[in-house]
Chain A
Amino acid sequence: MSKKTINLIIEKDDDLPVLKRLKKFAPVTAAVCLILFVLLYSISLIYLKLNTSEYNKLKAEVTSSEKKITSYQATEGLYLATFNILDVINKILAKNFSTVADTLPEVYGIDSDEIDIKTLTVDRNGQMSFSLTAYSLTALEVFVGELLNKQIDAVFSDIKAQGILRDKDGSYTMTISLKYRKSPAATS
């Protein structure tokens, strides 16, 4: 009777090099991932614990402030409308200082009984022209002298006289053009 032999030891096949490496690194990777997760999760929890209440408080404050402002909505509308008109008025006043009104006393202030200003035109830039009748040469000289004084005082500039006529009655007629200079700050 012949003896039959059975090999009970499983034959060990050699792993592929990739598998060998995988077996070596997979547990390490898993461990690193686990540690990283635990670490990051703990940090996130601590941050949230420390900051959430402060953030919620800030949010609640904003909401309450918004509610308060909403209750003032009518006042806000009124305030903005008032500001809007004020802004417009301020700009109009800054642009249109009362040049025209200011020029009149400067010219009519030196008017005498012997001088009549027949016509006068003036624009917002201070460009003025007027025609006058002087009933004596002395009055005319005084008037022109006053104008020159005002030129020295920098009230007028660029004074030009045109078309001087002597009438039969001894009166003088002439047209004067000049530029009125006044800084906007000087006007109230």
Chain B
Amino acid sequence: MKNRLKIKSFILKYESVLSSFVVVLFILILTVKLLLPNFLRITTIFTERKELTTKLVQLKKKEALLTLQNRDVLAEDFARLNMIVPASKDYVLLFSTLDQLQQSTGVFVTRSDFQLGVVSTSSALLKKPVGEPSFLLPINLEVTGDIGQIEIFLRSLTNLSGRMITVNHLQLTMLDDGSVRSSIDGNAYFNPLPKTIGKIDSPLPQIKHEYRQIIERVSQNMVLDRQPPEFPSQVPVGNDNLFF
């Protein structure tokens, strides 16, 4: 009885302080449960909205650029360009380019020396030479013809009609029969393709006017003899019975 009276008198005495404390505590609980989540969401919206807007602009640009691309045309352009600077050393392509140039210019390639090094491009440890845009394949050629033919041959090496070969050093010697023997030191190039295409919102580089000109030159000068395979939508099947 005495204890009750004591508690009652304590409550009466601290009534205002206690009720205030209860109210503050309640507000604290509401703040944690309601206000803070709201504020967190507001912060998220505020910070992400800017990022999302920028990302959307990038994506729309990329989408528009990709929609404009014709996949078949791209595939054909890529196939052509890949014959100028292939992804591997591709010595077969080098020989076929020289054979083609022999036929078109009338010169005779009497010796061709490629420093192939490690034949496998993918497994070999590749290191791009400093200051060079691509991997180099040093070559040495000996070509015989008249001076006009040799000049056309030299120009054809970089006219984007086949594997690109640049000339570092040329030595011409006039032979007794009036023809000219030339010794050419130069480089062919190869460029391993990128293995990944980057993040979905990474911007695509724009193919510039000068790059379009290269594509046009390649289309004019090079004929693709390797057509991409066509797959029929329906493959006809044979008779069930082989004897009828």
Are these two chains actual partners, yes or no? yes
User: Is residue A165 within 8 Å, beta carbon to beta carbon, of the partner chain?
Assistant: no
| B59 adjacent to A66 (CB under 8 Å) | yes
- Interface residues of B, dominant DSSP: helix
The answer to whether A6 has its CB under 8 Å from any CB of chain B is no
A124 to B184, CA, bound (A): 11
Q: Is residue B71 within 8 Å, beta carbon to beta carbon, of the partner chain?
A: yes
Interface string of A113-135 (1 = CB under 8 A from B): 00011111111100000000000
Q: Which chain B positions have C-beta within 8 A of A62?
A: 52, 55-56, 59
B204 within 8 A of A: yes
Question: How many positions in chain B have a CB within 8 Å of any CB in the partner chain?
Answer: 76
Among A22, A79, A82, A93, which residue has its beta carbon within 8 angstroms of that of B158? A93
* In the assembled complex, B214 has its CB within 8 A of some CB on chain A: yes
Q: Are B23 and A34 in contact (CB under 8 A)?
A: yes
In the complex with contacts A65-B59, A69-B200, A84-B171 CB distance below 8 A:
no
Contact (Cβ within 8 A) B66 A104: no
Return the contact of A78 from the options B65, B71, B198 (Cβ within 8 A): B71
B238 interface contact, C-beta 8 A: no
**Which residues between 78 and 119 of chain B lie within 8 Å of chain A, taking CB atoms?**
78, 81-82, 84-85
B234 to chain A, nearest CB (A): 23
Interface of A is mostly: helix
With the chains together, A40 CA to B201 CA distance in Å?
37
Let me know if A44 and B35 touch, CB within 8 A. Answer: yes
Enumerate 30 A-B pairs (CB-CB under 8 Å) in ascending A order: A10-B9, A23-B14, A27-B19, A27-B20, A30-B23, A30-B24, A37-B31, A37-B35, A40-B35, A41-B35, A47-B42, A48-B41, A62-B52, A68-B63, A72-B67, A74-B71, A75-B74, A78-B75, A81-B193, A82-B81, A86-B81, A86-B207, A86-B214, A89-B81, A96-B158, A100-B154, A101-B154, A101-B155, A104-B147, A108-B147
Instruction: Known A-B contacts: A45-B38, A92-B134. Give 16 more (CB < 8 A).
Output: A23-B17, A37-B31, A55-B45, A66-B59, A69-B59, A76-B66, A80-B194, A82-B74, A85-B82, A89-B85, A93-B214, A98-B158, A105-B151, A119-B174, A123-B168, A124-B166
Residues of A that sit less than 8 Å from B by CB: 10, 19, 22-23, 26-27, 29-30, 33-34, 37, 40-41, 44-45, 47-48, 51-52, 54-55, 58-59, 61-62, 65-66, 68-70, 72-93, 95-96, 98, 100-101, 104-105, 108, 116-124
Q: Which residue numbers of B lie inside 8 Å of A, CB to CB?
A: 9, 14, 16-17, 19-21, 23-24, 27, 30-31, 34-35, 38-39, 41-42, 45, 48-49, 52-53, 55-56, 59-60, 62-63, 65-67, 69, 71, 74-75, 77-78, 81-82, 84-85, 133-134, 147, 150-151, 154-155, 158, 160, 164, 166-174, 189, 191, 193-194, 197-198, 200-201, 204-205, 207, 210-211, 214-215
